[in-house]
């Protein structure tokens, strides 16, 4: 049985509130869980103490039992001093898509064509004098 410490979404449309829960990895996101260890309300201001409420002792206990936190929860736990969080490396995430690459190539080609046309016009003007 693989355990995860993850977020379970609650609240209404466009007003999310998350519970930080320990659940089996195969259970649905908002489905059955073993224990609620905290809550996260992203609509509150950053300095508000109710934005992130987490029982660090329970989280540490579950991690000792083998529960793996998701990336977001690992970041929260690292801020509380439980466990560590290492930023992932996804070099392809920041790359532009196919359409943007094509547009950039077309723009560069248009700039080259304009520069050549300007040079040619200068040369013709110099030859006419």
Domain locations along the chain:
3-80, 94-129
- Mind listing the pLDDT tens digit for each residue in 83-117? 888 887 888 888 999 999 999 999 999 999 999 99
Q: Is the pLDDT of residue 24 over 90?
A: yes
Q: What is the β-pairing status of strands 15-24 and 52-54?
A: unpaired
Q: Which helix or strand (DSSP H or E) is residue 31 part of?
A: none
**DSSP three-state, residue 59:** helix
Tell me, what's the pLDDT at 83? 84
pTM of the model: 0.67
Indicate the fold that domain 3-80 takes in CATH. S16 Ribosomal Protein; Chain: A; (3.30.1320)
Q: Picking from 8-17, 29-38, 52-61, 85-94, which range would have the lowest pLDDT averaged per residue?
A: 85-94
Per-residue confidence band for 124, with pLDDT thresholds at 50, 70 and 90: confident
């Amino acid at each position: 049985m693989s355990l995860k410490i993850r977020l379970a979404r609650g609240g209404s449309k466009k007003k999310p509130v998350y519970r930080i829960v320990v659940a089996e990895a195969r259970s649905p996101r908002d489905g059955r869980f073993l224990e609620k260890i905290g809550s996260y309300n992203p609509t509150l201001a950053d300095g508000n103490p109710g934005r992130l409420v987490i029982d660090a002792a329970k989280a540490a206990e579950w991690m000792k039992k083998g529960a793996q936190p998701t990336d977001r929860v690992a970041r929260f736990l690292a801020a509380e001093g439980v466990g560590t969080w290492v930023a992932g490396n996804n070099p392809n995430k920041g790359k532009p898509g196919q359409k943007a690459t094509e547009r950039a190539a077309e723009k560069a080609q248009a700039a080259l064509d304009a520069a050549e046309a300007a040079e040619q016009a200068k040369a013709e003007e110099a030859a006419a004098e």
